[in-house]
Structure 1
Amino acid sequence: MIIESAEVVVTSPGRTFVTLRITTDEGLIGLGDATLNGRELAVASYLSDHVAPLLIGRDAHAVEDTWQYLHRGAYWRRGPVTMTAIAAVDVALWDLVAQRAGLPLYQLLGGASRRGLLAYGHAGGRDLPELSEAIHRRLAEGFRAIRVQSGVPGIAALYGVTDPGTAYEPARRAARPVEEQWDSRAYLRHLPGVLEAVRHEFGPELPLLHDVHHRLTPIEAARLGRSLEPYDLFWLEDCTPAENQEALRLVRSHTVTPLAIGEVFNSVHDYRTLIGEQLVDFIRSSPTHTGGITALRRILDLAGLHQIRSGMHGPTDVSPVGMAAALHLGLAVHNFGIQEYMPHAAVTADVFETSFTFAAGLLHPGELPGLGVRLDLAAAARYPYQAAYLPVNRLPDGTVHDW
């Protein structure tokens, strides 16, 4: 099964996606997600100009060899652009190999380890009544675990919070990023009361999650984790920027609130201290941004040796192709924990036909051969590229801060 062509498709149905489309001499088509929110064209160029020409004539079955060829052969390793490009190739090859075998991809990864994947939905509100309403909506949609994000008095706009009844999409279509404000002290004062009210209203059984989004120092994160212990969080996500892996030692020493980290990581090396010292409880990486299924499977296997589970990133800036890859991998690995699930905009379904399902709180990738995702090229052409950027954050005095 020889690769005859490798094409990069950039389309913006609701938001921008980058898809690698590999065609073999047998007429099979494999898809890989190459979407890097706010830097999409960098990956598209990396693939079109530097990777696609190297794929022509290669055996599509050689998934491992191709991964090593692209990772070691480029000399310049790691980084989000490189690893997202490699991920697109890797996932597309897995898609092809599974299609050639006539099996859904998870069967080639060892078969199903569970009936479905517990998914959590997002609920945000500018105040407690709006947040309560949003949680009720997610529960009515079938979610059995909820991520809770709340407005903070004095902060005009916050990550994860939007007007009632509207889908949250942080990337704004504009010539430059929107600037938002942040106040750590106000947030630390306000959030524990929010979680207390939610737990009181919805009871002890509902798994609750919260995302700090990298905004606290290690000692602030430790303080928050301890203050939230009475409300029994499923996890506290990205409590501090974790590129300094040793910083999590301080957080871990002060709180037993479970910690989830890694959506901006792209290599096993980003996790070595965190996994080896069991400083986190959940791995947040997605196949799309971590070198694909081949690389993330290795990370999760290492994590499993340390009682650390998966919690793969599943926002709308991971395309339906990337989401399908996460579901196949999550269904197969033993140490699955939970799957983030933000349903894509309805217009996205004009371009991507998917086989994965969500019912009774569980996701399943479906039984079609391969990933179970098809890309409609004609539909993709109807949604030309539109630039969009994630916001930039500033402290009250104007200092640029982590968003």
Structure 2
Amino acid sequence: MSEIVDYDLYEVPPRWLFLRIETSDGIVGWGEPVVEGRAATVRTAVEELMDNYLVRNDPARIEDHWQTMYRGGFYRGGPILMSAIAGIDQALWDIKGKRFDAPVYELLGGRARDRIRVYQWIGGDRPSEVGDAAADKVANGFTALKMNATSELRRVDNPAAIENAVDRLREVRERVGPEIDIGVDFHGRVSKPMAKRLAKALEPYDPMFIEEPVLSDHNDELHTLAQHTTIPIATGERLYSRWDFKEIFESGAVDVIQPDLSHAGGITEVKKIAAMAEAYDVALAPHCPLGPIALASCVHVDTISPNALIQEQSLNIHYNESSDILEYLENRDVFRYDDGYIEVPTEPGLGISIDEDYVEQQAEKTVDWHNPVWRNEDGSVAEW
């Protein structure tokens, strides 16, 4: 019987944490367990789980390992534990696929599609000059874009704040036309009264969805918001398990869910969340402003999920100024973008070949990424 004999963790630029798991017969699996800005905390959680439950055990029993890591502690859930579980789960699926010489999706039921549509970010945290950026991405073949709606907002802000958001979306829509989809991310920055006003004001420009229109702390308000707009509502990047999503589905307010494969328990858990969503006629669009291992994991769940709509990816995203996803790969063509799609991978496991020498080199650098703390004009903390 093969067993897990070793593991290593690498914190690398711009803000990622990679996990390497090795088995007694020499198979290596990779995962990406991280909470952006909390890499050191998640690293400790991974070490605790690996040392207590995984080392010297059979890597093949993925469901049993998942249940043990989740249920083995009296306290469970939340971003740190679920992200640690997620990265370990990704690596175990990578190992299993390599053992059977098959892509992970083949072990999960096989393809539901041949290629996966992706969208490209435009603008930054404080979006500006998005029209030129949108036209450039469309010229490069992307058929879907996403942009932040606003910078920081007061709980009840002035009409100019609404007008600024409308002006940006109008500019993008006028530049790219009606055949391009535009997701608008509220990023949890928007209070309930402002969310209602923004949704109404943006509606004439037909966003593909409005994302995280209120913080996940206030998901009970999504049903009320849904009564004020015909724009599809998307949320879920700050939900970490199928139990977190249960209330969302039962409310009937959400049209697109966005679980993160590095935060919501990995491939094992998001596959189950996606199946729950299908039963409620809700589409899947996994959150992924992260690295190549997280993206590869998303792609395999997208491949098997009939309700997968579109995939976020971080190529050239504004967070990745120091490193980008392709730099860590030997087979960089695996995420080749063709007319706004990527092909389903065909190599075993997650389908990516990590450049281990480059990972070790980058891990020697000091990585200290934390999201900015924004403040309102009166000095109070604003949502980033």
Cα deviations across residues 279-331 of structure 1 (Å, max 9, x unaligned)? 1111111111000111111111111111101111121xx22111100011101
2:93 counterpart residue number: 94
2:5 counterpart residue number: 5
Q: Output the CA distance in 1 between the equivalents of 2:326 and 2:207.
A: 33
Change (3 A) 1:52 1:319: farther
Alignment of 1:279-290 (within 5 A): 279-290=253-264
Q: Output the CA distance in 2 between the equivalents of 1:302 and 1:206.
A: 29
Q: Output the CA distance in 2 between the equivalents of 1:19 and 1:201.
A: 39
TM-score under structure 2 normalisation? 0.91
Query: Is 1:400–2:381 an aligned residue pair?
Result: yes
Cα deviations across residues 177-210 of structure 1 (Å, max 9, x unaligned)? xxxx544434323212332333233221111111
Alignment of 1:3-402 (within 5 A): 3-13=3-13, 15-124=14-123, 130-149=129-148, 158=151, 182-183=153-154, 184-185=157-158, 186-315=160-289, 318-343=290-315, 349-354=326-331, 355-383=334-362, 384=364, 385-402=366-383
8 Å CA contact 1:8–1:44 kept in 2: the answer is no
| More displaced stretch, 260-269 vs 230-239 | 260-269
Change (3 A) 1:193 1:378: closer
* Matched position secondary structure for 1:143: coil
Cα deviations across residues 135-165 of structure 1 (Å, max 9, x unaligned)? 1221122211111347x7xxxxx4xxxxxxx
Q: CA deviation at 1:219?
A: 2.5
Unmatched tracts of structure 1, length 5 or more: 153-157, 159-180
* Matched position secondary structure for 2:307: coil
Q: Output the CA distance in 1 between the equivalents of 2:328 and 2:341.
A: 24
* Matched position secondary structure for 1:60: coil
8 Å CA contact 2:131–2:171 kept in 1: the answer is no
Q: Output the CA distance in 1 between the equivalents of 2:370 and 2:305.
A: 34
Q: Output the CA distance in 2 between the equivalents of 1:350 and 1:196.
A: 35
- For 1:122, give the aligned amino acid: W
8 Å CA contact 2:189–2:382 kept in 1: the answer is yes
Q: Output the CA distance in 2 between the equivalents of 1:4 and 1:120.
A: 37
Change (3 A) 1:197 1:358: closer
8 Å CA contact 2:138–2:176 kept in 1: the answer is no
Q: Output the CA distance in 1 between the equivalents of 2:281 and 2:325.
A: 36
Q: CA deviation at 1:57?
A: 2.3
8 Å CA contact 2:291–2:324 kept in 1: the answer is no
Change (3 A) 1:402 1:288: same
* Matched position secondary structure for 1:124: coil
| More displaced stretch, 381-390 vs 233-242 | 381-390
Q: Output the CA distance in 2 between the equivalents of 1:52 and 1:368.
A: 30
8 Å CA contact 1:90–1:293 kept in 2: the answer is yes
Q: Output the CA distance in 1 between the equivalents of 2:261 and 2:49.
A: 21
Q: Output the CA distance in 2 between the equivalents of 1:356 and 1:301.
A: 25
Identity of aligned residues (%): 30
- For 1:324, give the aligned amino acid: A
- For 2:178, give the aligned amino acid: P
| More displaced stretch, 340-349 vs 299-308 | 340-349
Q: Output the CA distance in 1 between the equivalents of 2:123 and 2:88.
A: 35
Q: CA deviation at 1:112?
A: 1.5
Alpha-carbon RMSD across the aligned residues, in angstroms, is 2.0
- For 1:134, give the aligned amino acid: A
Q: CA deviation at 1:67?
A: 0.3
* Matched position secondary structure for 1:243: helix
8 Å CA contact 1:352–1:375 kept in 2: the answer is yes
Q: CA deviation at 1:362?
A: 0.4
Cα deviations across residues 63-117 of structure 1 (Å, max 9, x unaligned)? 1100000000022100111001111111111111111111111111221111211
8 Å CA contact 1:182–1:393 kept in 2: the answer is no
- For 1:106, give the aligned amino acid: Y
8 Å CA contact 2:27–2:95 kept in 1: the answer is yes
Q: Output the CA distance in 2 between the equivalents of 1:295 and 1:254.
A: 32
Q: Output the CA distance in 2 between the equivalents of 1:255 and 1:122.
A: 24
Q: CA deviation at 1:276?
A: 1.2
- For 2:335, give the aligned amino acid: F
Q: Output the CA distance in 1 between the equivalents of 2:211 and 2:127.
A: 21
- For 2:5, give the aligned amino acid: S
| More displaced stretch, 242-251 vs 348-357 | 348-357
